[in-house]
Structure 1
Amino acid sequence: MKATLMITAAVSALLLVGCANHEGVAPSQNSSLNAVSPSTTATSEGGSMQRSLDAWLKEEWTPLTTPANGANATSATAVSNVSEPSGTVTAQPEDNTPLTLQKYADKWKTYHENKEKMKEGKPKEASHIEMMQSLPVVGK
């Protein structure tokens, strides 16, 4: 019994070592594997959540958090300088300071203030709490 256990352990160890040291074709170089499951698809297309986040950042977050006046703008947008000849465009200096928690909190506050201003004249969406309270049995 002890001998079979030792032989089984030795064979298992040899198999594991043999598999670990085997140098073969990398998965990215395997043409058969790439035909079935290409590895570039996930990185180039992105997932549904990533696309949703990118759209939200582009359409909502960036426009509502960037300052309205050009003096405080931190993005690297091109601005024409009046003292230079027409046709010459200079870029504003890019803000390379690290994003701190306070800066993020300030941007979040600005985002919510601008979002509230944007929604001021529009009708309010009914919340789930209000809908539940309006039910005859559950509600008040």
Structure 2
Amino acid sequence: MIAVAIVGILLAVAIPSYQSYRVKSYYASAASDIRNLSLFEHSFYSDHQEYVAVVPSDKGADGVISKNVTLNNGSTELFEIRSLTPDVQIVVNIDGTRQYANFGAYHPGGDQILAIENDFSEFRKTDKSGTLVSADVPAATAANDLASWAKY
């Protein structure tokens, strides 16, 4: 009977800790994907002087984003990144001139969107449930678009 009580106490402590650990790992995956995509977008921007919008459906089940984009100068370039986590949903919203970008990521196992702007280096978060859509991340502008979101 004492052994059953001890096992019960251990489970009462272990299960919430394990669940908390899992959620933190989901956020870490989302943050990693934002960083990877942000670095890739900044590299693309260095070459072409514009950011590329990404909607959740652009990312395949294998975690790859591969699409041809028409640039402001009329030329077409391949935009392809292969280092993203398959389960994380990704959005990049850009402004009309393609000079500003907001990057957002959401793991369905968590309950928050993580986001970062191209011209601000800190992660922000806001509550979310369901599937990520582009409208969940603010449109990109020269201002601090994520100012109302909590710091991550």
Same fold (TM over 0.5): no
TM range (shorter): under 0.3
Higher strand share: 2
TM-score, length basis structure 2: 0.23
Higher helix share: 1
TM-score, length basis structure 1: 0.24
